[in-house]
Amino acid sequence: MEVIRKVASESDHVTIGIGSAQYSHTKDNPFTAGERYLMIARTLKDEGIDNAFIIPIEDLNRYSVWVSQVETMCPPFSIVYSNNQYTRRLFYEAGYEIRNSPLYNRAEFSGTEVRQRILDEDDWRYLVPEKVAEVIDQIDGVSRIRELMGESPDGMQL
């Protein structure tokens, strides 16, 4: 939220891509794109940010056309914020200006950490915006994470 708040205040608009939109119910992406959309939309409204576009983007699983896929799904943009080296490289090669996301405590404010705490029945709510916790409760997300993280999948290759 800190990153988005900063970018939204400095720019005409900010586009938030929901990556890997076709995946859900996995350890890394327990929530559907629609559920993630709702978490973000409610939080932005709560924060009074009204110049953000939220866009679910399906991976095509071929990096070389990924920049094109993102350009197709999003309104025009000129600056890319990411701390991921792959994303940075691909958009850099395509000629975009790349900026680091402002610094924050990445170890704690990470999805991995939050999901682990939910599994361990530790406190996790203070790590996410209030509206995100609200949506997770509404969709019974805690029980989903606990069931899915408790066992390795078999019978389907993702």
100-139: burial string, b at 16+ Cβ within 10 Å, e else: eeeeeeeeeeeeebbbebbbeeeebeebbbebbbbbbeeb
Closer of 11 and 32 to a second copy (Cβ): 32
C-alpha to C-alpha distance for 89 and 85, rounded to whole angstroms: 6
| Closest CB 84 distance from a second copy, rounded Å | 6
Query: Phi first, then psi: what are they for 53, rounded to 5°?
Result: -105, 135
Closer of 39 and 126 to a second copy (Cβ): 39
Window 13 to 52, contacts with a second copy (CB under 8 A) = 19-26, 28, 32-35, 37-38, 41, 50
Distances in whole angstroms, Cα of residue 57 to Cα of each of 9, 66, 113, 122: 24, 10, 24, 32
C-alpha to C-alpha distance for 118 and 132, rounded to whole angstroms: 14
Closer of 22 and 100 to a second copy (Cβ): 22
Query: Among residues 2, 9, 65, 108, which is the contact residue for a second copy, using CB under 8 A?
Result: 65
Query: Among residues 12, 61, 121, 123, which is the contact residue for a second copy, using CB under 8 A?
Result: 61
**Residues in touch with a second copy (CB under 8 A):** 19-26, 28, 32-35, 37-38, 41, 50, 53-56, 58-69, 71-76, 84-90, 93, 139, 144, 147-148, 150-151, 153-158
